[in-house]
Amino acid sequence: MLLKGLLQGVPQVRTEGPLAIDIRGLSHDSRTVREGDLFVCLSGTRTDGHQFIEEALERGAAALVVSETAGDYAGRTVIKAASPRRVLSKLAARYYGYPSRNLRLIGVTGTNGKTTTTHLINRLLAAGFPKGTGLIGTIGYYLGRQQRPVEATTPEAPAVHRLLSEMAAEGMGHCTMEVSSHALALDRVDQCEFNVAVLTNITEDHLDFHEDFSAYRAAKARLFRNLPKKCGNYAVINLDDPQASYLQKITAAEAITYGVKERARVRAADISIRPEGVSFKALTPWGTLDVRLKITGLFSIYNALAAVTVALKEGISPALIEEVLEKVAGIPGRLEKVEAGQNFTVLVDYAHTPDGLENVLSTVRQFCPGRLITVFGCGGERDRSKRPLMGAIALKYSDFAIITNDNPRGEPEKQILQDIMTGIQQHAPGEYTVLLDREEAIKAAIHRAREGDMVVIAGKGHETYQVFSDRTMDFDDREVARRYLRERAGTCQGERSFN
């Protein structure tokens, strides 16, 4: 596509140099620039794309998008803009032919529950629409049954529109997308034309990035504020969340509420929460559904209600919804069981916020016949305010907690530990120990457990890596737990079970 044509509809930019240039791709990472790409300089919290212009040019970048204050690049075609990031979003949509217009695009946002909700929605839609469906989210990017590796929960605009264009080209009619607060604040999905916006909940998170809770809420709210009043568009809002009324007011689209309270249009009744899963009646304007799900916890009921609401609105029959949900075995890294013949339970979960950790531990506590042992940590270079809260929550529900590393990244491990300890020392009377080596922490939890105990390994869930300041290493909580369960079984040869 010629640069001149690509820039049509992109206002408030100043161009220097010839525009009759064939643009073969878009890039914001100098390491991935190919011959003929348009390189867009993005300013982040750690690096500034302007620092890598020479590398991009050496790799064959045909033109540059830079900030208004950037210097001159004699002999180069340059587009100057107040916000290169917003320009990138517009260019990506145009370059890939506005693919979201050719799909029913469902955006799910919230602090917790996005992954489970999107996967439930996708499975329901896939059952009802045999041409295939797409999913963009934390665990993977799915085009039908094909899975792509993850760049971020919601990737940068070129990746978003490229994935959407591939889905549309394959004839898929729906895409369900996890929409993070970062993606909303950083304009990654500004040019995506959503048909449905779903709220799971809004609790404190990412205050290292957002100025305060109000800014965090405002970022989430953009998904609903930008949803136009249009035939077929609607918002699905958790009425039991404190922010529900705010979101109902700002969206122009039809708002459908769900929850366990009587005022919700889609409501759960006759709730049963058991170790092996949940069941309830979904009372809806389209009839009553008997829902059975092999994922436990009250939060799973909320996630299922959101998915049921979307499925019904998209025309999936109640009978098919019941059938599909009953077959869902679980979501990777979400209260995922690790089995190796032991007589105690090991669960791996992604819970990495105060609300998420409390949801998981309070649920497990209800069914724990023995002791609850929790392994947890907090990520480095992230919101420090949630660390003492998570420390207090872990000790509130656990009989024994092991504090360890999550992804420390470039932050000193002792600083992270100190923040966690603040909450433990002020609020929690329970027993704990500190083992910063995550593998040793998991090993210790496995060897401490006895018959009837439950071990929860929280924070990383489906992740298969651990990030330090100088390296990223392979690390999967599930595989590590399985290894030490087998090791422990080996030490008990000749015995009938673990003890």
Kindly report the backbone phi and psi dihedral angles of residue 53, in degrees, each rounded to the nearest multiple of 5, phi listed first. Answer: -60, -45
Together in a domain, 35 and 130: no
- pLDDT at residue 115 greater than cutoff 70: yes
Together in a domain, 362 and 482: yes
Is 79 exposed, middle or buried, given 0-12, 13-18 or 19+ CB atoms closer than 10 A?
Answer: buried
In a domain, 496, yes or no: no
Together in a domain, 352 and 297: no
Kindly report the backbone phi and psi dihedral angles of residue 184, in degrees, each rounded to the nearest multiple of 5, phi listed first. Answer: -70, -45
Last residue of a domain, one of 327, 349, 380: 327
CATH of the domain at 414: 3.90.190.20
- The CA angle 333-120-172, to the nearest 5 degrees, is 115
Question: What share of the chain in percent tops pLDDT 90?
Answer: 86
CATH of the domain at 65: 3.40.1390.10
Together in a domain, 156 and 60: no
- pLDDT at residue 296 greater than cutoff 80: yes
Domain interval for residue 52: 3-95
Together in a domain, 183 and 210: yes
In a domain, 80, yes or no: yes
Together in a domain, 226 and 356: no
pLDDT value at residue 494: 40
A 10 A CB-CB count for 241 gives 20
Mean pLDDT of 161-170: 97
Write the pLDDT tens digit of every residue in 21-38: 999 999 999 999 999 999
Mean pLDDT of 277-283: 98
Mean pLDDT of 299-310: 98
Q: Whole-angstrom Cα distance, residue 309 to residue 283?
A: 10
Contact by Cβ (8 Å): 454, 368: yes
Together in a domain, 153 and 282: yes
pLDDT value at residue 496: 40
In a domain, 355, yes or no: yes
Distances (CA, A) of 385 to 1, 30, 259, 379, 397: 47, 34, 29, 12, 20
Last residue of a domain, one of 61, 80, 95: 95
Please state, rounded to an integer, the average pLDDT across all residues of the chain: 93
In a domain, 497, yes or no: no
Together in a domain, 157 and 85: no
pLDDT value at residue 429: 62
Rg of the chain over Cα atoms, rounded to whole angstroms, equals 24
* Three-state DSSP state, 482: helix
Together in a domain, 269 and 318: yes
Write the pLDDT tens digit of every residue in 41-93: 998 767 899 999 999 999 999 999 999 888 888 789 999 999 999 999 999 99
Cβ-based neighbours of 7, under 8 Å, separated by 6 or more: 13, 15, 19, 79, 91
Cβ-based neighbours of 28, under 8 Å, separated by 6 or more: 39, 40, 41, 42, 49, 88, 156, 158
pLDDT value at residue 95: 97
Together in a domain, 22 and 125: no
Higher pLDDT, 108 or 75: 108
- pLDDT at residue 202 greater than cutoff 60: yes
Together in a domain, 183 and 90: no
Is 152 exposed, middle or buried, given 0-12, 13-18 or 19+ CB atoms closer than 10 A?
Answer: middle
In a domain, 436, yes or no: yes
A 10 A CB-CB count for 446 gives 27
Mean pLDDT of 382-411: 94
- Domain count along the chain: 3
What are 496's two structure tokens? 């009938």
* Three-state DSSP state, 212: coil
In a domain, 265, yes or no: yes
- pLDDT at residue 367 greater than cutoff 70: yes
The one-letter amino acid at 291: V
Together in a domain, 265 and 144: yes
Last residue of a domain, one of 327, 353, 386: 327
In a domain, 498, yes or no: no
Three-state helix/strand/coil letters over 50-76: HHHHHHHHHCCCCEEEEECCCCCCCCC
CATH of the domain at 187: 3.40.1190.10
Looking at the DSSP assignment, which residues form a beta bridge with residue 467? 472
In a domain, 499, yes or no: no
Write the pLDDT tens digit of every residue in 455-468: 999 999 999 999 99
pLDDT value at residue 498: 42
- N-term to C-term CA, the chain: 67
Q: Which residues of 156-172 are buried (b: 16+ CB within 10 A; e: fewer)?
A: bbbbbbbbbbbbbeeeb
